[in-house]
């Protein structure tokens, strides 16, 4: 089938990844050039994200991604709304089993020239079979996640557009409504990481974060309210929060 006819068929019937691949191929543009033309229109979408969209491993769902898709249709010289119409309803996010009561979370973060390593200890109240840990990332490099005690790493999603990472932690033994569980895990970030920011969807009764610096930074602030933090004599800062929710953590530079 001629390329133009195949593109027309895919824009009418989908699926979305195949239609996007065909449209990019028909445009003669590389993913890098597509990204550049989007930037000229005031829209930022990374090359890895475009690649994930056309492979079907990810799809645009958030408002900013859908806005980018409308500009992408223009860049690829497609009818307005032609790609968006192929998306259908959004996929459900999260799982009903991830409904545990998050009693406490303690993050101990070590910052050195080799990188940033966070050791975390989470106490969950049942019923629960898994928990989703979420971070905001200062770089495009995803951390390496490993469970030290009490479970295993399940699905990991790295959203390059929003700069966030979600790691599903699956408990070794699901806990019932009248019991609790402890899971410990580590996240190793790239040396360029300049913050430790948690994204908490639901309140955690007791959240603590301690950041130890090999070389104390020029400036260190709380993420939730921007207040400065001064390292102690050991080069560490810490925060204690009750019923923590949203973006919490520490940011540093210099």
Q: What is the mean pLDDT of the chain?
A: 87
pLDDT of residue 96: 37
Residue predicted with more confidence, 133 or 103: 133
Higher pLDDT, 69 or 101: 69
pTM of the model: 0.62
Kindly report, as residue ranges, where domains of CATH 1.10.260 are found in the chain: 3-86
Q: What percent of the chain has pLDDT over 90?
A: 46
24 pLDDT tier (thresholds 50, 70, 90): very high
| pLDDT score for 212 | 96
Classify strands 180-189 and 128-136 as parallel, antiparallel or unpaired.
Answer: unpaired
Q: Is the pLDDT of residue 1 over 70?
A: no
Please state the rounded mean pLDDT for residues 21-39. Answer: 92
pLDDT for position 89:
56
CATH architecture of 3-86: Orthogonal Bundle (1.10)
The CATH code of the domain at 101-253 is: 2.60.40.3140
The pLDDT score that the predictor gives to residue 94 is 45
Give ranges for CATH 2.60.40.3140 in the chain. 101-253
Q: pLDDT value at position 205?
A: 86
Contact 3, 25 (CB under 8 A): yes
Q: Is 48 left (phi over 0), alpha (psi -120 to 50) or beta?
A: alpha
Residue range 97-114, pLDDT digits in tens: 444 566 899 999 999 999
Asked if 197 and 232 count as a contact pair (C-beta separation under 8 A), the reply is no
As a whole number of angstroms, the distance between CA 235 and CA 182 comes to 29
Q: Which two structure tokens, joined as six digits, stand for 98?
A: 């991830």
pLDDT digits (tens, 9 = 90+) for 145-188: 999 999 999 999 888 777 889 999 999 988 888 888 999 999 99
- What is the average per-residue pLDDT within 230-239? 93
């Amino acid at each position: 089938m001629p390329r133009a006819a195949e593109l027309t068929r895919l824009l009418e019937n989908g699926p979305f990844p195949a239609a996007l691949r065909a449209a990019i191929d028909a445009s003669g543009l590389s993913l890098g050039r597509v990204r550049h033309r989007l930037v000229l229109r005031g829209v930022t979408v990374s090359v890895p994200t475009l690649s994930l969209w056309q492979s079907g491993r990810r799809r645009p769902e958030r408002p900013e991604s859908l806005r980018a898709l409308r500009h992408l249709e223009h860049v690829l010289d497609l009818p307005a709304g032609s790609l968006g119409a192929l998306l259908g309803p959004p996929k459900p996010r999260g799982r009903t089993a991830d409904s545990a009561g998050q009693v406490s979370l303690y993050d101990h973060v070590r910052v050195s020239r080799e990188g940033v390593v966070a050791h975390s200890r989470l106490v969950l109240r049942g019923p629960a079979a898994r928990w989703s840990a979420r971070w905001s990332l200062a770089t495009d490099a995803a951390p390496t996640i490993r469970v030290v005690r009490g479970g295993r790493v399940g699905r990991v999603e790295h959203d390059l557009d929003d700069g966030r990472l979600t790691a599903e932690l699956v408990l070794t033994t699901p806990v019932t409504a009248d019991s609790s569980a402890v899971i410990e895990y580590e996240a190793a970030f790239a040396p360029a990481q300049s913050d430790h920011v948690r994204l908490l969807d639901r309140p955690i009764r007791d959240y603590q974060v301690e950041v130890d610096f090999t070389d104390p930074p020029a400036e260190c602030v709380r993420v939730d309210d921007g207040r400065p933090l001064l390292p102690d004599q050991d080069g560490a800062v810490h925060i204690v929060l009750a019923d923590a929710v949203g973006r919490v953590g520490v940011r540093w530079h210099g």
